[in-house]
Amino acid sequence: MILIVLFHFPLRQVLHKDAHLIFHALCKASGKNVVSTHRSRTSTHVAVDEGHQRDGGGNSNIDQRSARKLLSLELILALVERSGPTFRTSDRFVIAVTRMLCGSILKNCTSNETPVVELSLRIFLVLCRDFRKCLKAEIEVFITKIFLKILLSPLSPYEHKALVLDLVCTLCSSTQVCGDRRTMHFMV
């Protein structure tokens, strides 16, 4: 049956479809919510969100979910850093980045967990570098609605503010991004 599929569809199409499915699964896994671990230390029975089992005292369920989220973000980062021209220009992948990955990063940039925020900001930098032309509206939303709010909020942790400031400095020093007046307009 598999041979029929390979002869019926060109190998490149099959590989692109597989890559798209993997990317979709990683974005979905990275976007799942994890209950904060500091809450689990104060309670003996914390319900893990999305209908999963209760944690009966330890927080191993929560730690596993957090580890899955971090692994998903690390794999996404590796994927977008090493993406080739097909990934960057194909409508299928650009739409996936716009709809799925930007939504996941949006959630994760406002996470309470610093490693999650850090990985999300690193992914955002790669997107600014490689997908800037098709993500101008999304970049504007990130800068004006997320990053500036993090910097101006008295409730944002210092570590998150420092990460966002590093991101802004990196964006400002990038000749590719600085050359785009629209992006720089929102940063001023």
Comparison of pLDDT for 5 and 139, the residue scoring more: 139
Comparison of pLDDT for 61 and 166, the residue scoring more: 166
For the chain, the domains span 2-187
Closest CA to 20 of 101, 81, 74: 101
Query: Whole-angstrom Cα distance, residue 144 to residue 157?
Result: 18
The type of residue at 161 is K
Query: Whole-angstrom Cα distance, residue 16 to residue 9?
Result: 11
pLDDT band at 182 (very low <50, low <70, confident <90, very high): low
Task: Look over the chain and give the mean of its residue pLDDT values, rounded to a whole number.
Answer: 79
> Residues 44, 48, 51, 54: is their CA dihedral positive or negative?
negative
pLDDT band at 23 (very low <50, low <70, confident <90, very high): very high
State the pLDDT at residue 142.
93
Instruction: Write out pLDDT tens, residues 79-92.
Output: 999 988 888 888 88
Q: What is the pTM of this model?
A: 0.75
